[in-house]
Structure formats: structure tokens, C-alpha cells
Amino acid sequence: DAKTTQPPSMDCAEGRAANLPCNHSTISGNEYVYWYRQIHSQGPQYIIHGLKNNETNEMASLIITEDRKSSTLILPHATLRDTAVYYCIVRVARTYKYIFGTGTRLKVLA
Amino acid sequence: DSGVTQTPKHLITATGQRVTLRCSPRSGDLSVYWYQQSLDQGLQFLIQYYNGEERAKGNILERFSAQQFPDLHSELNLSSLELGDSALYFCASSVDGGTALAKNIQYFGAGTRLSVL
């Protein structure tokens, strides 16, 4: 099954860039990587997705390695409101199932 | 606001009982997903429906069932409830989901918090 591995927690100083890594070495060639975040117990919020190329939107940037086995979510100027659990997810190949790992708990420090 | 509506927000019930959780997807979305999140755990995929048909099944217990109606809203039925079923239950919807290789951004509701006493 597709699986993602993320560090359980990270701290980041307010105003600095937060770089959150994710390993998805079993991803198949045509599957996207998606990033979500969950603040407290709210519903997860979509951040960004990518296939092969690096992506940027108003929330974050996504860097995907050339072999697609890992990616990094970058929050360029973290704020206290970015404190959340960040999940990278992929779909299990040849199915419609999505696997959320345990995510990275990011704490932005004042 | 994601546009996905879940009711009720909170549900307190006793062991052995049956409850129904409801989800209204975003306008135009054909796919509905159900997830369970126990205390301090990640999200566990339960089941997906696409345009009324079951599309994928995850770690859903036999005591749990779901369906998607012609108006595309979905219900998750939990029966013979146990203490361990206490959790947050999230519904998500997406436009895609009919094709395995399509990009598929899911939008989540605020969840239903189920407490089994």
C-alpha cells in the first residue's frame, strides 16, 4: 500500500520558513501528492498538490524530488496561525483509497 | 467555509445504540468520502461513494455502513456502538473521484464528534 512518512513534530520561529518533509517512496508514476493541514480538531484544509514539477500557490510551495519519492512543503513566512498538523497524502495505486499518515505537528513559536 | 455540511456537530449516545451521521457535499461534487479520527490519531479512510455508487472501502467495520442518495448527500450509519467508536467523523467531497488517475482535491466538513458512553 502507498504510505507516507513524516516527522512527528517540528518547531519553527515566527516569520521564518517552515520546511516540512514527506517521504512517499512507494508512490506510483501518475499519482499526485496532496498536502492538507488540520488546526485543532477542525476539518482538514487543502493546501497544495503536485505531480512532478514544483508548485506554488498563495499558501505554500511544494518541492517534489525528481524521483518523486519525497516532497517538501514550504511555508515561506510562518505565522502563529500556521500551527497545525500537516499531512501529506497519496492515493493507493490502482485504487481510490487515500492514505493519511500521522502527519507533522508544526508549532510556530513567537 | 469548505461548502461541505455535516450534521450533527456533536452526538452523545450509549453503547449498543445506532446513530446516523449526515453529509451534504459541495454543490457539483459527485464524490463523498468518510474518515474516522480517534483521539490524537490520524485520519482513517472509511469509504468513498461516487455518484451514488460505492467506489472504495477502507478500514470500515461491518457494524458501519454508508450510502449516497440521488441528491448526492451521504449518510454514515454506525450500529451496535462501542466505547472505541468515540471519535471525530469527517466527510469530504470532491468533483473528481471517478477516475483513479485524476487529481482529486477533497474538501472537508467540520466533522461530527461522536461520544459513546
Q: Give the list of residues 6+ apart from residue B32 with CB closer than 8 angstroms, or none.
A: B23, B25, B48, B49, B68, B72, B73, B74, B91, B92, B93
| Polymer length of chain B | 117
Give 3-state DSSP helix, strand, coil % of chain B, rounded to 5: 5, 50, 50
Q: Residue A32's pLDDT band (boundaries 50, 70, 90)?
A: confident
Interface contacts A/B by beta carbons within 8 Å = 65
CB atoms A32 and B103 under 8 Å: yes
Q: According to the per-residue pLDDT averaged within each range, which of A23-32, A83-92, B20-29 is highest? A: B20-29
Residue among A38, A96, A99, A100 with most chain B CBs within 10 A, to mutate: A96
Q: How far apart are CA A88 and CA A33, in angstroms?
A: 7
pLDDT of residue A99 exceeding 90: no
Q: How far apart are CA B77 and CA B88, in angstroms?
A: 14
Q: How far apart are CA B117 and CA B115, in angstroms?
A: 6
Cis peptide before A8 (omega within 30 of 0): no
Q: Residue B78's pLDDT band (boundaries 50, 70, 90)?
A: very high
CB atoms A43 and B111 under 8 Å: yes
For residue A94, the model assigns a pLDDT of 74
For residues A110, B2, B97, A99, the Cα torsion angle rounded to the nearest 10 degrees is 30
Q: Residue B98's pLDDT band (boundaries 50, 70, 90)?
A: low
Q: Residue A2's pLDDT band (boundaries 50, 70, 90)?
A: low
Higher confidence at residue B63 or residue A25?
B63
CB atoms B100 and A102 under 8 Å: no
From residue A96, give the alpha-carbon distance in Å to each of B11, B26, B57, B69: 29, 19, 8, 20
